[in-house]
């Protein structure tokens, strides 16, 4: 990631008197008027403050890089919450609401790392099972991504969730925006709470749902009385893009959920679902890739150089 390292500051320059930041080639402080031959050179403040690093990337680096590089970086510098279940438990989540199925953290089918979430006993109508994360703040615009796999294709259209829900309340109630797959039409879609009623929007084409295969599922919701929106991407491809909706029904989003939102109709045989690599962010997240692992490595290398 040499291109990123070249864009990060190697030093900050401060006035010897007031200690405020000045231009590296300056000889007079713009803050206190002090004259000096050269400013003091100190390690950059972004080393000490993750928020400062995020602000620097957004204001200094994003305007300089290509659209593809900017999209790539957003997944590392706009993250609100993430859990790959590598703790071996659900301790990162705030609470759970479960009825009729079993949710666990196992090693049998992770998408990345050693652990992943597993849901078994998905069968009867009215069942649900989610873990909920209460965020520190509520967001009027938010993205959520997870990798999801299922062991058999649903046999009825009553199976409406592939593992994610952005909701302002408990499961079994009204989700604000959640992904769905309709096995009768082979279409991905979203359930979006519009003017108080969940409305379903589907992709224009059709898709194949392969069993025991992870899909990168990402949803976006914007809360607004007249310009609300809901979007869906599967494996990085946009499937649904609905705008101009009244989504201001339950307030801003503060409780993202992961799991089975609801089973509407019984379909005879219990199914199993696996979920991993959950991320909540204030910008588009996108798919994981081998290259994604190099950003944290690059940041550690950068910090080590300066310490």
Burial (0-12, 13-18, 19+ Cβ within 10 Å), 6? exposed
108 & 137 share domain = yes
What angle, rounded to 10 degrees, do the helices at 294-306 and 67-77 form? 80
Asked if residue 198 is part of any domain, the answer here is yes
- The per-residue pLDDT for range 213-228, each reduced to its tens digit, is 999 999 999 999 999 9
Asked if residue 160 is part of any domain, the answer here is yes
Residues 6+ apart with CB under 8 A from 140: 222, 223, 224, 252, 253
Number of domains in the chain: 2
Predicted confidence at residue 278, as pLDDT, reads 92
18 & 66 share domain = yes
Mean pLDDT of 26-51: 87
Least confident of 97-101, 225-229, 241-245, 248-252: 248-252
56 & 126 share domain = no
261 & 302 share domain = no
46 & 114 share domain = no
Asked if residue 287 is part of any domain, the answer here is no
158 & 169 share domain = yes
Torsion of CA 147, 139, 61, 82, to 10 degrees: -30
Asked if residue 89 is part of any domain, the answer here is yes
Mean pLDDT of 44-55: 70
CATH number for the domain spanning 173: value is 2.60.120.200
197 & 232 share domain = yes
Mean pLDDT of 151-163: 64
Strand segments, DSSP code E, in the chain are 12-14, 40-42, 79-83, 95-99, 102-106, 116-122, 128-132, 141-150, 164-166, 177-182, 187-194, 197-202, 215-222, 228-234, 237-245, 256-260, 271-281
Q: Where are the alpha helices (DSSP H) in the chain?
A: 2-7, 50-56, 67-77, 294-306
**Do residues 92 and 290 lie in contact, with contact meaning Cβ atoms separated by under 8 Å?**
no
Q: Is the pLDDT of residue 237 over 90?
A: yes
Asked if residue 302 is part of any domain, the answer here is yes
272 & 297 share domain = no
91 & 72 share domain = no
Mean pLDDT of 162-167: 57
Is the model more confident about 276 or about 154?
276
57 & 145 share domain = no
Domain of 42 in residue numbering reads as: 2-78+292-306
Closest CA to 164 of 251, 246, 230: 230
- The per-residue pLDDT for range 6-29, each reduced to its tens digit, is 778 888 999 999 999 999 999 999
Mean pLDDT of 137-148: 90
55 & 97 share domain = no
Rounded CA-CA distance 144/133 in Å is 12
Mean pLDDT of 93-102: 90
Rounded CA-CA distance 307/298 in Å is 14
Sign of the torsion formed by the C-alpha atoms of 10, 77, 301 and 91:
positive
């Amino acid at each position: 990631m040499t291109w990123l390292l070249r864009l990060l500051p190697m030093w900050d320059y401060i006035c010897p008197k007031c200690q405020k930041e000045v231009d590296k080639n300056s000889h007079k402080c713009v803050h206190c008027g002090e004259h000096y031959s050269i400013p003091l050179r100190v390690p950059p403040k972004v080393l000490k403050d993750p928020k400062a690093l995020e602000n620097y990337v957004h204001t200094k680096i994003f305007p300089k890089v290509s659209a593809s590089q900017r999209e790539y970086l957003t997944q590392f510098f706009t993250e609100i919450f993430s859990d790959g279940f590598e703790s071996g438990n659900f301790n990162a989540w705030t609470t759970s609401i479960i009825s009729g199925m079993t949710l666990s953290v196992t090693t049998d089918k992770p998408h990345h790392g050693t652990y992943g979430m597993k849901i078994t006993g998905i069968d009867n109508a009215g069942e649900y099972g989610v873990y909920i994360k209460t965020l520190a703040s509520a967001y009027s615009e938010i993205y959520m991504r997870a990798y999801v796999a299922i062991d058999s294709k649903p046999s009825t259209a009553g199976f409406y969730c592939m593992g994610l829900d952005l909701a302002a309340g408990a499961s079994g109630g009204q989700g604000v925006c959640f992904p769905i797959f309709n096995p009768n039409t082979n279409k991905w879609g979203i359930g979006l709470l519009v003017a108080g009623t969940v409305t379903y929007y589907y992709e224009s084409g059709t898709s194949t749902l392969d069993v025991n295969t992870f899909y990168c599922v990402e949803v976006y919701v914007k809360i607004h009385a007249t310009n609300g929106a809901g979007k869906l991407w599967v494996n990085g491809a946009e499937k649904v893009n609905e705008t101009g909706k009244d989504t201001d029904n339950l307030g801003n989003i503060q409780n993202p959920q992961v799991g089975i939102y609801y089973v509407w109709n019984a379909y005879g045989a219990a199914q199993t679902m696996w979920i991993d690599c959950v991320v909540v962010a204030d910008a588009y997240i996108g798919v994981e890739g081998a290259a994604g692992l190099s950003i944290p490595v690059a940041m550690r290398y950068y910090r080590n150089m300066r310490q």
